[in-house]
């Protein structure tokens, strides 16, 4: 109920306004309508139906009635135009899925009755085409087009000539020429188009019959039937139509039917309509014609506001989408706080995708009340991503045997916060899958959890989702929902997540959507595959918004362009005023050629542009402080050109316009080198870790660790002192380190097999002959078994995986490793005989570091140690890279881009062997690069100045001196850990993001 006023005079039969124009001219449009209706109807508003183009306007209108009446009275009945049509019809509008499914049935029935061969097209394949056709049928009916004539045989122009009577001879000739060029040739595409087109009339008729038999309709069908067979449903004494602009033919016909007992309030400005009611620009294209047909209630003097001297327009170019949102705070500061009490200020989004940024940019300390009328997109809530990965797992992730899922689809589910909310063991299972390299986790591994229960059909999939959503909803219930404790402490705990209520609502909305899909599937109304189920679910979720709860007629308003219809604001901030957003680029997918659309009166691009022109100018016409911002960065939205409507404003000298630009305040990033000083505590920690003279259980220092220290001491600090590691993850791809590990293990297994030794443990030296290697080279089963065992141990973490379970990339790597083994065998054939002394040998020696007063154990794993021609040879396998030489010992320990780190590592092993003095023979360091091992002249022995090193002991003194000095730097307090100057080393470093490299 509204405030009551005393009975007033009977409505004037003259149709003119009962208000003085001068006094009300500065009022809002809805305020003018409210005052005029009270003057006309008095207390008899309960017998009046007021129809708005949108629901939002009725809330504001109620407030204006309250302000003008100041006494209690019954409010009028409110309708949107869709609701008014629905009120007068016995049919109900079906949802889009049901409509497309019924359309498919009609299409198949007509096609099979007319074609020589039945169609094999499924609903899944038809669905997208069905959506386009449904839009076309809807528009045909809304505009009351003769569908049978429209969908007649396009090849027979005579069928349409009766409809061309209003065209000139030249126009008919042009259309004839179009027909000839478009449909004259007999291409396969044209034939396919015409074969479908020629049955659309019968599909249209049968489709409507099927819907009518079920009491259903699509919007256009319902509207057309209402106006073609007017009933006694429109029984109210008076109808008032407020703020309409463009009208479909069916809406126009309804207006004509109700005209004897209706009032029409048009909202416009003479800025874009001249005195003769002909439109000056595209914004007035439809209003002028509507005024002539249905009359005008309010006096024209109310509609001269656009050129008000109080109007100030500011046009701002922003270099980014985020820049627009960041400007909101400055815009709020420019207004008085009192203007955020009444709904006098609005932020209007031409691009509704930036809503989250806008919401976060509004400071609650500056604006107490914010009313967001658009709703939060469900696609930006966690439930959307959760449902998507669940369905993807069910569709794409199920292994062929149906007893396991592919890890690629399981891990995202296990890592999702919602899974971890309802399944406590999710994190533990994820860790197990990653650590044990489980590529096909079974239901047993997944603890037989319902989240990972396979589904066989779309109906089962829908039931499965409902179960999961229900569990999630229970987990998100607040204590008040459960009837539990609502004390202050509990409420504070619940309020820790400011989005709790929003997320709870999103879960509820998702449950309703999936439940609707299940209803259609269970009733047999649609029959779809699971892949189509996913597309439908995504479509439904993307079109759903979660309503914000706020006071609709208080505070700052945030809305989209369509929601501004009939509303007026003093202060307006219009964001993303770009071409493509204002006017918006409509979905122009249609099966009806454009020339026919124009001929029969269906909407065209020009039609849509005129509609948006009206939205734009109407929104600005009564505003006083207008700020229009457009984005100049094409990379973010793809639309960087200012709206044509802004250009039109700029061309008018009567307007008070200022221009400005927003530039991101970006200072060049001054990168400070990251330096970690060696404090006494840090030095002591290093000594405790590596000094064997003070700690008998001290760790050894490996050549690979020293390589990292030389290349980048900061990386050494992060990896070996702070012990930071990149998070383990599972991948079907083999990175270079895993590939190398598999090859090394394969080479070890090969020679252990040749020496008839166990695969691990004890090793007895043996002689390798050419005949022995020749047997191995020709034994494919042996090599395959060795490589499979290596993959199982190093990649599949001890699991016995058959080749049939390898994916394509794993099979390729399997064959590459096998090829490298053969290459190793052929390389060694050229060198036989030789004696293998050890494989994957752990060798260490103590090094004194005089500068630090320490003793350090240094060493690592030597791939292969052999004796040949009276010397001890260290063989280090390299599965990548090519052989290098070195010029100086010192150069091996310098920080530079092209340092020969592999040679340095092998020299460390040689130094360790020399110190052990286990072999009184020359020591020959060699690097066996597998990429080069196939060359007949290839030698793996390391070279100095193109000469092979025959005995490392000749270099031992010089190398040890340089090496111990470098190790001493690790413990030197005056040399901090710092970033490398050899930036090429940063390319594959795990810490490059931390270092901003």
**Cα–Cα nearest to 926, from 872, 845, 861:** 872
d(CA 725, CA 688): 21
CA distances from 574 to 272, 362, 476, 589, 967 (A): 20, 15, 37, 28, 65
Cα three-residue angle 299-303-306, rounded to 5 degrees: 165
pLDDT in tens, 436-470: 888 889 999 999 999 999 999 999 999 999 999 99
pLDDT in tens, 389-412: 999 999 999 886 778 899 999 999
Return all residues near 727 (Cβ < 8 A) that are at least 6 apart: none
pLDDT in tens, 463-494: 999 999 999 999 887 544 545 444 444 433 43
Contact criterion met (CB below 8 Å) for 633 and 640: yes
Count the residues in the chain.
997
CA distances from 779 to 361, 595, 775, 776 (A): 70, 74, 6, 5
pLDDT at 784: 94
d(CA 578, CA 629): 8
Answer whether residue 678 shows pLDDT above 60: yes
Instruction: State mean pLDDT over 913-935.
Output: 91
pLDDT in tens, 281-325: 888 889 988 999 999 999 988 999 999 999 999 999 998 888 899
Contact criterion met (CB below 8 Å) for 312 and 297: no
| 791 vs 71, residue with greater confidence | 791
Q: Which pLDDT band holds residue 821 (cuts at 50, 70, 90)? A: very high
Choose from 265-274, 348-357, 749-758 the range with maximum mean pLDDT: 749-758
The residue assigned the tokens 């992730």 is 397
Distance of CA 948 to the CA centre of its chain: 58
d(CA 989, CA 997): 9
Which DSSP string do the residues of 407-468 spell out, in sequence order?
A: HHHHHHHHHSHHHHHH-TTHHHHHHHHHHTT-SS-BTTTTTT-GGG----SHHHHHHHHHHH
Choose from 183-197, 551-565, 609-623 the range with maximum mean pLDDT: 609-623
| 186 vs 334, residue with greater confidence | 334
| 943 vs 807, residue with greater confidence | 943
pLDDT at 341: 72
Read off the tokens for 77: 């009945």
Burial class (CB in 10 A: 0-12, 13-18, 19+), 186: exposed
Q: Is 180 helix (H, G, I), strand (E, B) or coil?
A: helix
The residue assigned the tokens 């001219």 is 25
pLDDT at 12: 34
Instruction: State mean pLDDT over 732-739.
Output: 82
pLDDT at 157: 46
The residue assigned the tokens 């038809």 is 126
Q: Which pLDDT band holds residue 266 (cuts at 50, 70, 90)? A: very high
Contact criterion met (CB below 8 Å) for 944 and 886: yes
Cα three-residue angle 318-319-320, rounded to 5 degrees: 90
pLDDT at 833: 95
| 715 vs 43, residue with greater confidence | 715
d(CA 264, CA 708): 81
pLDDT at 561: 92
Contact criterion met (CB below 8 Å) for 862 and 838: yes
Strand 977-978 vs strand 943-944: parallel, antiparallel, or unpaired?
A: unpaired
Burial class (CB in 10 A: 0-12, 13-18, 19+), 561: buried
Read off the tokens for 916: 């052990």
Return all residues near 294 (Cβ < 8 A) that are at least 6 apart: 255, 259, 262, 264
The residue assigned the tokens 């010397």 is 871
Work out the number of other CB atoms within 10 angstroms of the CB of residue 120: 6
Answer whether residue 19 shows pLDDT above 60: no
Query: Which of 37-41, 346-350, 375-379, 429-433 is least confident?
Result: 375-379
Cα three-residue angle 985-988-990, rounded to 5 degrees: 105
3-state DSSP helix/strand/coil percent for the chain, to nearest 5? 50, 15, 35
Contact criterion met (CB below 8 Å) for 30 and 242: yes
| ω into 833 cis (within 30 of 0) | yes
Instruction: State mean pLDDT over 32-58.
Output: 89
Q: Is 389 helix (H, G, I), strand (E, B) or coil?
A: helix
Instruction: State mean pLDDT over 262-271.
Output: 94
Work out the number of other CB atoms within 10 angstroms of the CB of residue 921: 14
pLDDT at 635: 65
Mean pLDDT (the chain) is: 85
The residue assigned the tokens 């270092």 is 995
pLDDT in tens, 208-253: 999 999 999 999 999 999 999 877 678 889 999 999 999 999 999 9
Dihedral sign for Cα 909, 912, 917, 922, please. positive
Give the bridge partners for 580, in sequence order: 584
d(CA 289, CA 514): 45
pLDDT at 134: 95
Model pTM score = 0.73
| 643 vs 190, residue with greater confidence | 643
Distance of CA 558 to the CA centre of its chain: 24
pLDDT at 497: 43
Return all residues near 42 (Cβ < 8 A) that are at least 6 apart: 5, 6, 7, 8, 9
Answer whether residue 257 shows pLDDT above 80: yes
Phi, then psi, of 990 in degrees rounded to 5: -65, -20
Read off the tokens for 357: 């940024």
The H-assigned helical ranges of 42-150 are 56-69, 81-87, 96-114, 123-142, 147-150
Return all residues near 275 (Cβ < 8 A) that are at least 6 apart: none
Q: Is 581 left (phi over 0), alpha (psi -120 to 50) or beta?
A: alpha
Return all residues near 925 (Cβ < 8 A) that are at least 6 apart: 873, 874, 876, 903, 906, 907, 909, 910, 941, 942, 949, 952
Contact criterion met (CB below 8 Å) for 337 and 356: no
Return all residues near 793 (Cβ < 8 A) that are at least 6 apart: 745
Return all residues near 475 (Cβ < 8 A) that are at least 6 apart: 421, 422
What percentage of the chain exceeds 70 in pLDDT?
88
d(CA 820, CA 830): 16
pLDDT at 479: 47
DSSP 317: E
Phi, then psi, of 666 in degrees rounded to 5: -110, 120
pLDDT at 71: 76
Phi, then psi, of 583 in degrees rounded to 5: -75, 150
Contact criterion met (CB below 8 Å) for 317 and 630: yes
pLDDT at 666: 59
Instruction: State mean pLDDT over 119-133.
Output: 87
pLDDT in tens, 79-119: 999 999 999 999 999 988 899 999 999 999 999 998 888 98
Phi, then psi, of 265 in degrees rounded to 5: -110, 110
Instruction: State mean pLDDT over 134-159.
Output: 80
Read off the tokens for 173: 């000739």
Cα within 13 Å of Cα(713), Cβ side: 20
Q: Which pLDDT band holds residue 149 (cuts at 50, 70, 90)? A: confident
Q: Is 42 left (phi over 0), alpha (psi -120 to 50) or beta?
A: left
d(CA 900, CA 897): 9
Which DSSP string do the residues of 629-662 spell out, in sequence order?
A: EEE--HHHHS--SBPHHHHHHHT-TTS-EEEEEE
Distance of CA 714 to the CA centre of its chain: 36
């Amino acid at each position: 109920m509204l405030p009551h006023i005393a009975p007033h005079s009977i409505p004037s039969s003259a149709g003119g306004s009962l208000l003085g124009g001068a006094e009300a001219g500065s009022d809002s449009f809805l305020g003018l309508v409210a005052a005029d209706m009270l003057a006309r109807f008095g207390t008899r508003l309960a017998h009046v139906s007021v129809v708005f183009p949108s629901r939002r306007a009725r809330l504001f209108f109620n407030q204006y009635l309250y302000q003008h009446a100041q006494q209690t009275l019954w409010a009028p009945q409110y309708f949107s135009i869709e609701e008014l049509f629905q009120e007068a019809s016995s049919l109900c509008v079906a949802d889009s899925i049901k409509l497309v499914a019924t359309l498919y049935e009609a299409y198949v029935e007509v096609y099979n009755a007319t074609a020589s061969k039945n169609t094999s097209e499924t609903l899944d394949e038809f669905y997208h085409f069905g959506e386009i056709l449904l839009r076309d049928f809807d528009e045909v009916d809304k505009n009351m087009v003769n569908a049978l004539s429209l969908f007649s045989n396009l090849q027979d122009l005579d069928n349409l000539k009766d409809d061309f009577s209003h065209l000139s001879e030249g126009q008919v000739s042009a259309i004839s020429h179009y027909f000839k060029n478009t449909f004259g040739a007999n291409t396969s595409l044209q034939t396919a188009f015409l074969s479908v087109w020629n049955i659309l009339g019968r599909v249209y008729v049968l489709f409507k019959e099927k819907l009518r038999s079920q009491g259903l309709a699509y919007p256009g069908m319902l509207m057309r039937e209402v106006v073609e067979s007017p009933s006694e449903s429109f029984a109210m004494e008076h109808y008032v139509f407020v703020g309409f602009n463009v009208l479909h033919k069916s809406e126009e016909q309804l207006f004509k039917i109700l005209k004897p007992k209706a009032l029409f309030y048009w909202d416009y400005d003479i800025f874009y309509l001249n005195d003769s009611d002909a439109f000056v620009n595209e914004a007035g294209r439809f209003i002028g014609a509507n005024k002539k047909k249905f009359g005008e209630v309010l006096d024209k003097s109310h509609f001269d506001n656009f050129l008000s001297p109080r109007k100030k327009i500011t046009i701002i170019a922003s270099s980014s989408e985020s820049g627009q949102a960041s400007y909101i705070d400055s815009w709020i500061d420019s207004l008085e706080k009192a203007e955020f009490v009444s709904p006098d200020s609005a932020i209007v989004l031409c691009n509704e995708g930036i809503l989250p940024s806008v919401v976060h940019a509004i400071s609650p300390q500056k604006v107490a009340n914010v009313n967001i009328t658009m709703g939060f997109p469900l696609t930006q809530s966690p439930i959307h991503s959760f449902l998507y990965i669940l369905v993807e797992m069910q569709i794409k992730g199920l292994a062929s045997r149906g007893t396991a899922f592919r890890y690629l689809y399981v891990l995202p589910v296990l890592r999702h916060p919602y899974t971890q909310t309802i399944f406590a063991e999710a994190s533990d299972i994820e860790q197990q899958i990653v650590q044990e390299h489980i590529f096909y986790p079974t239901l047993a591994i997944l603890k037989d959890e319902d989240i990972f229960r396979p589904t066989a059909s779309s109906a089962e999939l829908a039931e499965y989702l409902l179960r999961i959503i229900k569990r999630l909803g229970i987990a998100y219930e607040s204590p008040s929902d459960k009837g539990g404790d609502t004390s202050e402490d509990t409420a504070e705990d619940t309020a820790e997540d400011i989005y709790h209520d929003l997320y709870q609502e999103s879960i509820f909305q998702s449950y309703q959507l999936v439940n609707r899909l299940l209803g259609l599937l269970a009733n047999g109304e649609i029959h779809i595959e699971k892949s189509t189920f996913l597309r439908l679910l995504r479509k439904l979720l993307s079109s759903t918004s979660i309503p914000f709860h706020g006071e609709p007629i208080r505070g700052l308003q945030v809305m989209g362009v369509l929601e501004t219809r009939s509303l007026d604001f003093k202060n307006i901030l219009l964001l993303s005023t770009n071409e493509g957003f204002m006017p918006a680029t409509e979905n122009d997918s249609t099966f009806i050629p454009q020339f026919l659309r124009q001929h029969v009166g269906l909407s065209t691009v020009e039609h849509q542009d005129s509609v948006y022109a009206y939205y734009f100018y109407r929104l600005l016409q009564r505003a006083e402080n207008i700020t229009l911002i457009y984005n100049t960065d094409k990379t973010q939205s793809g639309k960087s050109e200012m709206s044509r409507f802004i250009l039109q404003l700029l061309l008018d000298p009567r307007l008070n316009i200022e221009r400005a630009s927003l530039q991101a305040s970006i200072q060049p990033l001054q990168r400070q080198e990251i330096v970690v000083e060696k404090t006494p505590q840090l030095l002591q920690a290093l000594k405790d870790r590596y000094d064997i003279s003070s700690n008998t259980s001290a760790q050894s220092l490996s050549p690979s660790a020293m390589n990292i220290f030389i290349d980048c001491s900061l990386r050494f600090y992060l990896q070996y002192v702070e012990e930071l590691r990149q998070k383990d993850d599972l991948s079907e791809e083999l990175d270079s380190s895993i590939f190398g590990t598999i090859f090394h293990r394969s080479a070890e297994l090969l020679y252990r097999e040749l020496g008839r030794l166990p695969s691990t443990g004890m090793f007895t030296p043996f002689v390798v002959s050419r005949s022995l290697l020749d047997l191995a080279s020709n034994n494919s089963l042996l090599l395959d078994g060795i490589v499979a065992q290596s993959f199982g141990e190093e990649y599949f973490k001890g699991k016995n995986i058959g080749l049939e379970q390898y994916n394509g990339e794993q099979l390729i790597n399997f064959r590459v490793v096998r090829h490298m083994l053969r290459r190793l065998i052929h390389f060694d054939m050229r060198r036989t005989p030789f004696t293998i002394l050890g494989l994957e040998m752990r060798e260490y020696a103590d090094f004194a570091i005089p500068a630090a007063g320490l003793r350090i154990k240094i060493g690592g794993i030597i791939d292969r140690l052999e004796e040949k021609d009276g010397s001890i040879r260290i063989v280090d396998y390299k599965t990548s890279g090519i052989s290098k030489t070195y010029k100086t010992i010192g150069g091996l320990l310098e920080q530079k881009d092209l340092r020969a780190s592999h040679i340095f590592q092998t020299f460390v092993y040689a130094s360790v062997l020399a110190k052990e003095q286990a072999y009184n023979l020359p020591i020959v360091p060699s690097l066996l690069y597998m990429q080069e091992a196939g060359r007949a002249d290839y030698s793996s022995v390391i070279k100095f100045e193109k000469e092979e090193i025959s005995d490392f002991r000749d270099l031992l003194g010089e190398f040890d001196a340089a090496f111990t000095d470098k190790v001493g730097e690790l413990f030197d307090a005056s040399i901090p850990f710092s970033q490398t100057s050899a930036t090429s080393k940063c390319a594959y470093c795990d810490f490059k993001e931390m270092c901003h490299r």
